[in-house]
């Protein structure tokens, strides 16, 4: 049996020492070469395929740590605000742990299949009017009133778990890539990669998180976050790595999403293509070794394919 994320990286996860781990087989995801896009872009491109995680996104890496700790600490349940994937992950790991999960979403903002994932494992969904920030505030109130553990990316255990993706990349490539690109929603994952690379390799690749120009209403629903909560840490990582946030348009995201599906056969969700869009916009120089993190599975939002007219 392959080791759980917590077993594989136990030395880096002191918060799980002596804690029974809640696992669904997360982590150890494929690092896929992307020969056609590499040729087109004149770089050596690798895709970190996070859609291969148990609930279909990288959120599972942090959730195994956060939910294991919540249960060990005696929390009766977990609560989070979500654009969909955090919800699907929290719900599944809570079910596995035998504790409750309450999910707060902004009305109409989460893809239907992500909410189906939540309901399928028995979590409670609360819809609130407004934006992700309103849902987040409501989740804090619930955590306070019910004694639930809050498992948004402000939960440090989640960031710790997400660092393991950087560890896997360094181990598999035998060192740091020159560049890492990934979508930038709240910035928790950018922060986690930066910490992970520093912890294992003592240095950073050039980081290029890609945000939607239209943060408020982008078709890439997983990064539809107006006010990125980890903005300061992301800016710090830009200075330290010599990188920069890349802002991409709806058309650029759509074209990148089309390219990674049609040219590499990898069906990620639209938000995941933001990092590819950053590369088409020139984030990497010729010959550089680049890892692009494909954060979530395309089956998360199949209707998006129809909307994009394939």
Ligand X SMILES: *Cc1c(COP(=O)(O)O)cnc(C)c1O
What binding mask, one character per residue, do residues 96-135 give for ligand X by CB under 6 A, x or -?
Answer: ----------------------------------------
Q: In the Cβ-directed half-sphere of 29, how many Cα atoms lie within 13 Å?
A: 29
The tokens of 43 are what? Answer: 């770089």
Judged by CB under 6 A, which stretch of 18-26, 39-47, 134-142, 264-272 contacts ligand X? 264-272
User: Is 295 a binder of ligand X (CB under 6 A)?
Assistant: yes
Closest approach of Cβ 120 to ligand X, in Å? Answer: 18
SS3 state of residue 105: strand
**Among candidate residues 34, 24, 42, the one with its CA nearest the CA of residue 92:** 24
The tokens of 310 are what? Answer: 């394939």
* CB distance 245 to 238 below 8 Å: yes
Among 9, 46, 132, 184, binds ligand X (CB under 6 A): 184
User: Is 85 a binder of ligand X (CB under 6 A)?
Assistant: yes
Question: How many whole angstroms separate alpha carbon 11 and alpha carbon 217?
Answer: 41
User: Is 272 a binder of ligand X (CB under 6 A)?
Assistant: yes
Closest approach of Cβ 20 to ligand X, in Å? Answer: 26
The tokens of 259 are what? Answer: 């390219």
Among 168, 269, 288, 301, binds ligand X (CB under 6 A): 269
Checking DSSP bridges between strand 31-33 and strand 44-49, what pairing results, if any? antiparallel
Q: Which residue's entry shows tokens 């998360």?
A: 300
Closest approach of Cβ 5 to ligand X, in Å? Answer: 17
Question: How many whole angstroms separate alpha carbon 111 and alpha carbon 243?
Answer: 31
User: Is 183 a binder of ligand X (CB under 6 A)?
Assistant: yes
Question: How many whole angstroms separate alpha carbon 193 and alpha carbon 205?
Answer: 10
Among 27, 62, 187, 243, binds ligand X (CB under 6 A): 187
Judged by CB under 6 A, which stretch of 18-26, 90-98, 124-132, 268-276 contacts ligand X? 268-276
The tokens of 206 are what? Answer: 């050039």
Closest approach of Cβ 76 to ligand X, in Å? Answer: 25
| Nearest to ligand X of 44, 85 (CB atom) | 85
Q: Report the site for ligand X in 196-235 (rule: CB under 6 A).
A: 222-223
Tell me the number of residues near ligand X by CB under 6 A.
19
User: Is 275 a binder of ligand X (CB under 6 A)?
Assistant: no
* Cβ neighbours, 10 Å, residue 7: 14
Among 113, 153, 155, 181, binds ligand X (CB under 6 A): 153
Judged by CB under 6 A, which stretch of 7-15, 104-112, 136-144, 185-193 contacts ligand X? 185-193
Judged by CB under 6 A, which stretch of 60-68, 143-151, 186-194, 247-255 contacts ligand X? 186-194
DSSP states along 239-278: HHHT---EEE-HHHHHHHHHHHHHHH---B-GGGGHHHHH
* CB distance 22 to 97 below 8 Å: yes
User: Is 271 a binder of ligand X (CB under 6 A)?
Assistant: yes
At 12, phi and psi to the nearest 5?
A: -100, 0
Closest approach of Cβ 18 to ligand X, in Å? Answer: 28
Question: How many whole angstroms separate alpha carbon 112 and alpha carbon 280?
Answer: 30
Among 27, 62, 188, 205, binds ligand X (CB under 6 A): 188
User: Is 59 a binder of ligand X (CB under 6 A)?
Assistant: yes
Helix (H) / strand (E) containing 150: strand 149-150
User: Is 186 a binder of ligand X (CB under 6 A)?
Assistant: yes
Residues that bind ligand X (CB under 6 A): 57, 59, 85, 153, 183-190, 222-223, 269, 271-272, 295-296
């Amino acid at each position: 049996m392959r080791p759980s994320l917590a077993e594989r990286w136990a030395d880096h996860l002191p918060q799980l020492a002596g804690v029974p781990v809640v696992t669904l087989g997360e982590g150890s995801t494929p690092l896929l070469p992307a020969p056609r896009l590499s040729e087109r872009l004149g770089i050596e491109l690798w895709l970190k395929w996070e859609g291969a995680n148990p609930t279909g996104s990288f959120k599972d890496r942090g959730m195994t740590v956060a939910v294991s700790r919540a249960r060990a600490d005696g929390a009766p349940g977990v609560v989070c605000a979500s654009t969909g994937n955090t919800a699907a992950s929290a719900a599944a790991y809570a079910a596995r742990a035998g504790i409750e999960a309450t999910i707060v979403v902004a009305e109409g903002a989460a893809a239907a299949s992500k909410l189906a994932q939540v309901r399928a494992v028995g979590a409670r969904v609360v819809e609130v009017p407004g934006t992700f920030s309103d849902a987040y505030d409501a989740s804090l109130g619930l955590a306070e009133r019910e004694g639930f553990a809050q498992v948004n990316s402000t939960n440090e255990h989640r960031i710790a778990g997400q660092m393991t993706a950087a560890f896997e990349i360094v181990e598999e490539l035998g060192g740091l890539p020159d560049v890492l690109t990934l979508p930038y929603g709240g910035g928790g994952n950018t922060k986690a990669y930066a910490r992970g690379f520093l912890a294992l390799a003592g240095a950073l690749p050039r980081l290029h998180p890609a945000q939607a120009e239209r943060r408020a209403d982008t078709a890439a629903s997983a990064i539809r976050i107006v006010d990125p909560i980890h903005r300061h840490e992301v800016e710090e990582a830009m200075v330290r790595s010599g990188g920069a946030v890349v802002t991409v348009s709806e058309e650029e995201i759509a074209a990148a999403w089309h390219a990674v599906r049609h040219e590499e056969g990898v069906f990620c969700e639209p938000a995941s293509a933001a990092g590819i869009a950053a590369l088409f916009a020139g984030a990497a120089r010729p010959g550089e070794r680049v890892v692009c993190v494909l954060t979530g599975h395309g089956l998360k939002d199949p209707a998006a394919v129809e909307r994009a007219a394939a």
